[in-house]
Structure 1
Amino acid sequence: MMTPSLLLALALTGVVPVAAPQESPAPPPCVADARWLQDSPTTIGPTGEQPLTLFTAVGRGGADCSAWIVFSAVYLDAGGGLVCSGTLDLRVPQAGPVRYTALAVRPGNPYEFVRWLNGPNSASQPWMRFACLTLDGQTEAQPADIERARTIRLHATVLPAHGGLAVAEMRLPIWGPPPAPPR
């Protein structure tokens, strides 16, 4: 035990035992959930269109848990082998605790692959192209490659600003060759 005179002597020499500053504990990460609201559809032809609705939720006891929802897709052949994959240029903001995101997907058409139906200016929202990359991750798949695909796995990933993660997967069976690219 330190006596007052010892503490005074240490203080005069500049060596005073000081308690480490208390750091406030980091807030817990956000909790996130993502689910497609429909079951996997029946097989879709190359010009077919599939409406999909994604439900997402984020939170952590009332604290801010804004998030971004990003999408990726994987084309698989009849044996489950990878044909091509990539990330879509669609990023959906989530400002509140719950969001419903309505999409239309044309699984057989990488040239007009996805459309955000309930986004800002949804009436004029264009179809978005999907650059599907082959195994090397640099070369875009050719129409002949994509013709081999029989399933697409569409992934929605919720990325809260303060940590946490949720992924939902939808399997979309397709058949037949995709349409020719627009001219």
Structure 2
Amino acid sequence: MAVTRPLFVCVVLALVLGIQAKNCPAPFTSVGNKCYYVSLTKENWHAADRTCRKFGGDLAVFENDQDKTLTTEYLKSLGLPFTDSWRHSVWLGINCLGNRRNFRLSKTGDIATYMPWVPYEPDNSSPEEDCVAFANYNRAFGYIDIECDKLFPVLCESQAADDYLWLKKENSKIIIIA
């Protein structure tokens, strides 16, 4: 009887609140609470931005350390080399185009608040380092500032569609309604 009461409470909460599931639109894949699409075709930053928009998304941006870690593992699972070199980067949705060294989100124009730079970055080693990529560089995974004309794979993100599953009791059985 002790197990029945907590189960009953969970079922009632699920009936009242619904169970929410995230569905990613094609060709995106669910990673944590985000939807990602990776194009291994190497493009410059501007072409990468267009590629993401073509699929209904935007160049990806990490929101916190957990997001960065989950995404790093996902990218490695796809076979991206991520050796200790800027040459193995992926494009992100941050740049300082037209606003010298004020890194902004390309999607909204807002100042980027989570900026996990690798050591010694941003270095602005050339005046054209206006775009941001994600790399394993200087022995750390994080952001680098780099010229927008470099060719890298593309990391896009999209909003997940919210679907609600409802539990319903019918003839002493719990059924799920999508």
Same-fold status (TM-score > 0.5) = no
- Higher helix residue share: 2
In the superposition, the TM-score normalised over structure 1's length comes to 0.29
In the superposition, the TM-score normalised over structure 2's length comes to 0.30
**1 or 2 for the larger relative contact order (CA 8 Å, sep ≥6)?**
2
When Rg is computed on C-alpha atoms for both structures, the one with the higher figure is 1
